[in-house]
Structure 1
């Protein structure tokens, strides 16, 4: 197993986590007066008078946020899965099979956490039950783990070919019927927001890149330059097609996955994410490590940072911002600088939670040793 952690990839992951949190916070403010403001409807008159003109309306983002989101979201929403699959490939097949069940239990537990998170933050049962990208990532990573453990890299190669081919072999949206049934029979707000055919290629190809990089070390230099060259070609074809993403200022999610629906759009997404990773690995091979401690910390503890940020906004940042702006007799802003500040607050909160050890206390991890000793004493 290749065990050395690449600092540059942690650096990248830290940037992408910040982007993901920024996207979510901008989106929550887009929908605040539609989905969340009604939570305090008993106090609308008197306490929140300044917000009433926005009731039931979208809260548009500023132009800077819209431009950044339009060009970054389509591929940033996929690269996190690509990096996770890259890391999953660092073990050899035998080592992967040895830890497979532990890995599956972990991914299953994370999937359950993301499902439960939906019930904590969603404004309706339909949205709480909806299927979102981070849930799909856990399922795809579990699939990759099983395929690699039993079929090796050849199995993953076959899966990658299927993943790349599937979007063009399928006609229409294969999940539309299921989404329609859920909306008609369970809840109208249900959304199937993570189509496997739009994400699988990034994950499967990311796994193959990671496997070649880890298990063919003498070919790394050539591999990275080949990936960079192919990525540049994909981007050139994308730009030549003339296709460009479109995004409404009122809804940051309005075209989140639209670019991946077309062949040229998917080429652009794959070209951007693999090109960035290849460039970082080229620098790594030359002894140039992209490393800034705060960003690398976020990348290293990415799950810790990510798992708390939605709850923090829905139940802390949003309500406090709503109250403060009411005191100022204005509506809630939705701009780059406010959301960047809130993102930093979320990271700071995650850092405090991590350093305090409160999670270990709440889960009992700090008492595991004592419990084992008690069990051994009882067995005697």
Structure 2
């Protein structure tokens, strides 16, 4: 079996996915890289081999005879970069979020369909063991028909991760309901078996907006250059914030899905702990996860009682080694198989688009007094095209 020839656009934190994909002699190898940071390009020979092409301009890779390309760049660049490669008929792995507008997502779907080019979205949480365990419980009917879902996300490292660089500027991200929430909204949709069609939201920049310790832009600096868990507390002591900080640091959205399920999502970026907690309520019980890495469990209650910590069913979740609870390795393996065979996938371009659409509509609501906003449906032609076998 010949190795797939892989290109990589963006050599930052998420380029760990490219490292996973680089398996010379075992099915895939990175042969070309693009980044605007010379430091990253200088490290290419050591990371991927001395023969690996390295360039500042992604257009140099459009005709480089690639079998696929990983696009792992800042959010606002996803759409233009992916459009170029889709139109060049190079299969694309696009990290989440798909784009920073609903319209941008629809342009990507349309381009992939019209050019008949493979498009894969990096929603790695669909491969996380805790999410798969919750979905299996739902599919097995252990809580009956799903009626409501909610998720609380305490983003304990939010100040360092999202308010010291490009993330903090809404021109680059739209909102953290989109940038960070796209994962959770997608999981909510997946567990509920439907997509949001009406949303509303409230939130604000209630803490980091008051901090005056900003810094000048330093091109090429990465989050890993400054992140220190010990220095990230209390949040009010945070220093060196991005010059522009205009994103909400706490947000709450509500959703009505097309199948009648009601859902909510809450996100806070200045909690002392990092924690993501889902609750799914069905007609015959409820489930809840406690943790999302090794040692976590999913509990199911389906007998009437007063509050009790002991559940009727407790499912331990085994987490393989690797980033994001082992999900990144599964994500890359699925993408490689998808490119080779157009095999079915857990991820979905339509689902990725629907997560962005819900988040964008919620952001519009949040910034306009919490009024309800309709979420536009995708083009039926795109939906039909992306129904992979």
TM-score normalised by length of structure 2: 0.26
TM-score normalised by length of structure 1: 0.27
Q: Which has the higher helix share?
A: 1
Larger radius of gyration: 1
